[in-house]
Amino acid sequence: MPELPEVETTLRGIRPYLLKQKIQEVVVRQASLRWPIPQDLPALLLKAPVEEVRRRGKYLLLKLPHGHLMVHLGMSGSLSLTAVGTAASKHDHVDIVLESGWILRYNDPRRFGCMLWIGGEPFEHPLLANLGPEPLGNLFDDSYLYQRSRRKSLPVKSFLMDSKIVVGVGNIYANEALFRSGIHPLRKANRISKNRYGRLSVIVREVLAAAIEQGGTTLRDFVGGDGKPGYFKQELQVYGRGGQACMACSAILKEVRLGQRSTVYCPNCQR
């Protein structure tokens, strides 16, 4: 479900409800996510105030005085705020009850997400230590992509979706950014010029920023932390449009599988 814009939308939605709030109670109904929720997590969170809420790639980090709660939403996860006393629904795996009377509720049907405790320096955690730069930060540009791609013969779409190269570019936005850049998704990463990588880096940034502006992409059931849906879906030009006409040239969009991910492109516009 969530790509970077959805995670950022969630972050912005939940942050005001969490800052400086002490955690009053933690209810774990289902501990088996991507990795098990640590048994001592509730005790670690109890009575602690949330000092900051941050994002690294698609990971959310809640900073407490003695460590960080790290949350990943996986493919189908979401965080929402609900009033104390609201009955839990199916797949509501964790409640974090705040002293204000709000509950931060974690729901994840497929349980590909995770909820872990980091006691030390968060960016030294194995899941965070090797992540690539943020696509909206200033390290992500033409020379970075050009350098990292020189020894890579894999398809550029796989390259772009590798979180060690750059974080946060999932399947939807990889498809969209490559279409808007005129780059064929199956082209080998090391067969793309520095100029074209420059254009790609700018467009990745633009697409993600626009999606964040719109509150993310609502496909099935995404709802941001503030309960509002995202509106980026109507901006999508190739994702989910295989077999239909290209919006630029009217050629029929092709759809192929690449690393078990649906890949849609215009055979005419993308080279």
Partner DNA sequence: ACGAAGCCCTGCAAGC
Partner DNA sequence: TGCTTGCAGGGCTTCG
Query: Which residues of this protein are in contact with DNA, per CB under 7 A?
Result: 1-3, 6, 32, 34, 57-58, 72, 74-76, 90-91, 109-112, 127, 151-155, 158, 161, 163, 170-172, 189, 217-222, 257, 259-262
User: Is 36 one of the catalytic residues?
Assistant: no
User: Is 155 one of the catalytic residues?
Assistant: no
- To the nearest whole angstrom, how small is the minimum distance from the Cβ of residue 60 to DNA? 11
Of residues 191 and 194, the one with the C-beta less far from DNA: 191
Strands (E), 73-122: 78-83, 92-98, 102-107, 114-118
- Long-range contacts formed by 162-166: CB under 8 A, 24+ apart: 162/132, 163/57, 163/131, 163/132, 164/130, 164/131, 164/132, 165/132, 166/132, 166/133, 166/134, 166/135, 166/140, 166/204
For the chain, give percent helix, strand, coil, nearest 5. Answer: 30, 25, 45
User: Is 3 one of the catalytic residues?
Assistant: yes
Of residues 83 and 87, the one with the C-beta less far from DNA: 87
- To the nearest whole angstrom, how small is the minimum distance from the Cβ of residue 255 to DNA? 8
- To the nearest whole angstrom, how small is the minimum distance from the Cβ of residue 261 to DNA? 5
Single out the catalytic residue among 55, 58, 148, 180. Answer: 58
Of residues 104 and 161, the one with the C-beta less far from DNA: 161
Active site residues: 2-3, 58, 261
